[in-house]
């Protein structure tokens, strides 16, 4: 029976346009999926977009769009990019699709029916950016993952009995294959050992999500919704026989690839949800590091992203794929720079594989009329030929082992070691000089040298195919071998190049890039960012390399790189104040308090009661419908027995009447002032 192989990327949030950090995860998975197909596995490769939750709702609001419109646009951008890059995914799931919503509700029901869900009240801190409950944090504390200030949530929620899974999870982690690499596994183990609290799995203060079955006032916690994509896409919870079959066939997943910051969700919550639903857990969760640019994690909020399109326009998809997998030690953070990209491209692709292909194939054209020559068994063989054959055999063997352990960089090193060996072999054997001679011995030797070079080229090309699919498909055609997708990698061995094969037309596959390539890419990115980009960068409050993925406790107060002096505050201090645009829904006087008004202000995610000392300046009825600025993360306080949850921002001179801050242009409710 054919072996199956199911691999997933995380699904991408639609609050940010795709950049090469996202492309990194997708490329790694695509490469694995391609190799598995060549190894004969019935492969299913899934990617998609994560479209619900408060973060998306707010981003849409700030862009003046409905969440659905907003999600449609950005999800389409991701999809278009993957298509342009030739990503070989078999499905593309969106969490706003009907098929997903129904099946997530089914999962929720199943977990509830199994007794793992109860109702309770959650009061605590929440990071909207990471959609993460931050246990133990206090109002004003930053999120341990991203450093942004958490928001206080006080809601009646459905809770998942995560705490009862502690032992089962630890048993699961005893299998070293489940979480990779080892460092992440150790972090998860110590996080779970330190004790697990039940997890709130619904929200009721906003509506952009999948309704809880039988209680539509609540929407399902976005991480439960999102994680479920891995099973809903392949048919879980469907009543169709075909979908059920697919689910049975592909689940559990063989590899779930993620970035290190979402380890906790995938290694703790996800297997616990599955266990609670009585479903098998994935075979392996594999976490990669971050792509850094200008020393910190590439991300929209830091304003340091590099768009994939720029690289595709100038060097092509293969260049990016090769660079990322060769340069970054998988599992660790890796730096991206245009200089390094072009250097790698020139040294390994243009001068390496590309040059080997064109010089070998051109010489076969010139000296053997474009037909792969027969190596002469007698007399013309020397030890150097065997060295190449041995190096190729070793490369096939080691590449497979290293690649399947996700050591892409080392695997590629092995294949390129073969290319370097052949380059040296060609230089030493001087086929161009042999070609000038017409005696039988020289012809035989020339045939052997070019055959040996072509066979090594074929093997390096086959190994590299999953990583650089376009160029290798072209080389394969040029070698007269047809469609490379038909290659059976399991059988790859030295000596299979059919003798006498007629070559196809030979063209260079990796033209050399000159210095201007770096400048062009840099310029394209600068244009995209625009002059305002520098100022709009949010502070990078946490060192990029902090493995914050599984921290249970809120981070220690963040030490900002720019320290305040002279009574001034730093930008990080300012970022702690959450100023938001709200609209007044209700305004009334407070009995026996001449200066106070009681307002109900909608700030996009919830309606807040705020007491404001503005009664002498504004009649309550003039305020309803007016947009105001509120300090949204001020600790609640009581005035005249009423709770005030925030503060309205107003200007006033000593003794003068307050004047409410307002805007000349229209601004969406919920927008943040920064
Ligand atoms: N929506 C969640 C995942 C839900 S999965 C059930 C999410 N989305 S994300 O868009 O923020 O990130 C998706 C993937 O892109 C993650 O694996 C993340 O690590 C990866 N990357 C985003 N920026 C990155 C870098 N700068 N470097 C490397 N990978 C990064 O998390």
3-state secondary structure 198-248: CEECEECCCCCCCEECCEEEEEECHHHHHHCHHHHCCCCCCCCHHHHHHHH
**294/297 Cα distance (integer angstroms):** 8
Do residues 109 and 213 make contact, with C-beta atoms less than 8 angstroms apart? yes
- Quick one: pLDDT at residue 642? 83
What average pLDDT does the structure give for the chain? 90
pLDDT tens figures, 218-239? 999 999 999 999 999 999 999 9
Does residue 171 sit in helix, strand or coil? helix
293 lines ligand 1 (CB under 6 A): no
Contacts made by residues 172-177, CB under 8 angstroms, sequence distance 24+? 172/271, 172/281, 173/267, 177/283, 177/284
Rounded to the nearest angstrom, the distance between the alpha carbon of 298 and the centre of ligand 1 is 11
- Average pLDDT score over residue span 629-653: 85
227 lines ligand 1 (CB under 6 A): yes
580 lines ligand 1 (CB under 6 A): no
Q: Where are the beta strands (DSSP E) in 301-340?
A: 334-335
Residue of 604, 416, 389, 571 whose CA lies nearest to 497: 389
For residue 178, give every residue at least 6 positions away whose Cβ sits within 8 Å of its Cβ, in sequence order, or none: 172, 185, 267, 281, 282, 283, 284, 285
Protein residue with least CA distance to atom 10, ligand 1: 12
- Quick one: pLDDT at residue 594? 84
Q: Could you tell me which residue, 564 or 88, shows the higher pLDDT? A: 88
Rounded to the nearest angstrom, the distance between the alpha carbon of 22 and the centre of ligand 1 is 6
Residue of 309, 319, 258, 265 whose CA lies nearest to 47: 258
- Quick one: pLDDT at residue 345? 98
147 lines ligand 1 (CB under 6 A): no
Tokens 């931050």 locate to 134
Question: Measured from the CA of 293, which atom of ligand 1 is nearest?
Answer: 26
Phi-psi region of 159 (alpha: psi -120 to 50; beta: other; left: phi over 0): beta
Q: For residue 103, how many C-alpha atoms fall within 13 Å in the half-sphere facing its CB?
A: 26
**488/192 Cα distance (integer angstroms):** 43
pLDDT tens figures, 281-315? 999 999 999 999 877 888 877 788 899 999 999 99
- Quick one: pLDDT at residue 652? 74
**357/351 Cα distance (integer angstroms):** 10
Which pLDDT band holds residue 548 (cuts at 50, 70, 90)? Answer: very low
Domains along the sequence of the chain with CATH: 360-557 (1.10.730.10), 572-673 (2.40.50.140)
Question: Measured from the CA of 292, which atom of ligand 1 is nearest?
Answer: 26
Report percent pLDDT > 90 for the chain: 75
- Quick one: pLDDT at residue 380? 60
- Average pLDDT score over residue span 312-338: 96
Rounded to the nearest angstrom, the distance between the alpha carbon of 458 and the centre of ligand 1 is 36
Instruction: Tell me which of 259, 291, 297, 333 to substitute to probe ligand 1's pocket, judged by most ligand atoms within 8 Å of the beta carbon.
Output: 259
Question: Measured from the CA of 291, which atom of ligand 1 is nearest?
Answer: 27
- Quick one: pLDDT at residue 378? 59
pLDDT at residue 543 greater than cutoff 60: no
Rounded to the nearest angstrom, the distance between the alpha carbon of 172 and the centre of ligand 1 is 24
282 lines ligand 1 (CB under 6 A): no
Q: Which two tokens stand for residue 288?
A: 């990669």
Question: Measured from the CA of 260, which atom of ligand 1 is nearest?
Answer: 19
pLDDT tens figures, 151-176? 999 999 999 999 999 999 999 999 99
Q: What's the predicted TM-score (pTM) here? A: 0.80
- Quick one: pLDDT at residue 659? 86
- Quick one: pLDDT at residue 297? 84
Q: Which two tokens stand for residue 306?
A: 């590099």
DSSP 377: S
């Amino acid at each position: 029976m054919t072996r199956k192989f199911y691999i997933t990327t995380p699904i991408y949030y639609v609050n940010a346009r795709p950049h090469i950090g996202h492309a990194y995860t997708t490329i790694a998975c695509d490469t694995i999926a391609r190799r598995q197909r060549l190894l004969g596995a019935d492969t299913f490769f899934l990617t998609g977009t994560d479209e619900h939750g408060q973060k998306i709702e707010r981003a849409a609001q700030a862009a003046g769009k409905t969440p659905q419109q907003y999600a449609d646009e950005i999800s389409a951008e991701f999809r278009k990019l993957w298509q342009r890059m030739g990503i070989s995914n078999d499905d593309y799931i969106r969490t706003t699709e009907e098929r997903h919503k129904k099946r997530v509700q089914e999962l929720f029901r199943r977990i509830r029916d199994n007794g793992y869900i109860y109702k309770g009240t959650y009061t605590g801190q929440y990071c909207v950016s990471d959609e993460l409950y931050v246990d133990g944090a206090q109002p004003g504390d930053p999120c341990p993952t991203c450093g942004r200030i958490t928001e206080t949530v006080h809601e009646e929620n459905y809770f998942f009995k995560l705490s009862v899974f502690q032992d089962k999870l630890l048993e699961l982690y005893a299998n070293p294959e489940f979480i990779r690499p080892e460092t992440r596994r150790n972090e998860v183990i110590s996080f779970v050992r330190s004790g697990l609290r039940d997890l709130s799995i619904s929200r009721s203060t906003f509506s952009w999500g999948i309704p809880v079955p039988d209680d539509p006032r609540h929407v399902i916690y976005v991480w439960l919704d999102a994680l479920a994509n891995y099973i809903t896409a392949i048919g879980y919870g469907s009543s169709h026989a075909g979908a059920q079959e697919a689910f049975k066939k592909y689940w559990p997943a063989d590899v779930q690839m993620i970035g290190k910051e979402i380890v906790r969700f995938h290694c703790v919550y996800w297997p616990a949800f599955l266990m609670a639903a009585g479903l098998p857990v994935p075979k392996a969760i594999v976490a990669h590091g971050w792509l850094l640019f200008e020393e910190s994690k590439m991300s929209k909020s830091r304003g340091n992203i590099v768009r994939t399109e720029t690289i595709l326009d100038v060097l092509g998809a293969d260049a990016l794929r090769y660079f990322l997998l060769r340069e970054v030690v998988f599992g660790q953070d890796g730096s991206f720079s245009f200089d390094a990209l072009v250097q790698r491209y020139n040294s390994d692709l243009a001068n390496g594989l590309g040059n080997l292909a064109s010089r070998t194939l051109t010489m076969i054209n010139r000296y053997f009329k474009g037909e792969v020559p027969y190596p002469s068994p007698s007399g013309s063989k020397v030890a150097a030929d065997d060295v190449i054959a041995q190096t190729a055999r070793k490369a096939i063997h080691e590449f497979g082992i290293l690649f399947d352990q996700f050591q892409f960089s080392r695997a590629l090193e092995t294949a390129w070691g073969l290319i370097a060996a052949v380059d040296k072999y060609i230089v030493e054997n001087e086929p161009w000089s042999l070609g000038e001679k017409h005696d039988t011995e020289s012809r035989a030797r020339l045939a052997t040298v070019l055959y040996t070079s072509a066979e090594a080229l074929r093997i390096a090309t086959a190994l590299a195919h999953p990583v650089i699919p376009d160029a290798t498909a072209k080389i394969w055609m040029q070698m007269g071998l047809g469609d490379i997708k038909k290659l059976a990698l399991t059988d790859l061995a030295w000596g299979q190049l059919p003798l006498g094969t007629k070559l196809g037309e030979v063209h260079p596959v990796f033209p050399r890039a000159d210095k201007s390539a770096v400048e062009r890419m840099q310029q394209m990115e600068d244009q995209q960012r625009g002059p305002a980009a520098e100022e709009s960068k949010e502070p990078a409050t946490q060192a990029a390399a902090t493995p914050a993925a599984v921290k249970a406790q809120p981070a220690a107060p963040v030490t900002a790189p720019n320290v305040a002096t002279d009574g001034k505050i730093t930008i990080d201090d300012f970022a702690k104040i959450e100023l938001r645009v709200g609209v007044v829904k209700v305004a009334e006087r407070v009995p026996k308090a001449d200066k106070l008004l009681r307002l109900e202000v909608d700030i996009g995610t919830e309606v807040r009661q705020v007491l404001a000392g503005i009664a002498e300046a504004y009649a309550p009825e003039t305020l309803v419908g007016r947009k105001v600025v509120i300090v949204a993360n001020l600790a609640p306080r009581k005035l005249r027995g009423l709770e005030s949850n925030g503060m309205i921002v107003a200007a006033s001179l000593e003794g003068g009447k307050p004047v409410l801050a307002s805007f000349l242009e229209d601004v969406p409710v919920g927008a943040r002032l920064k």
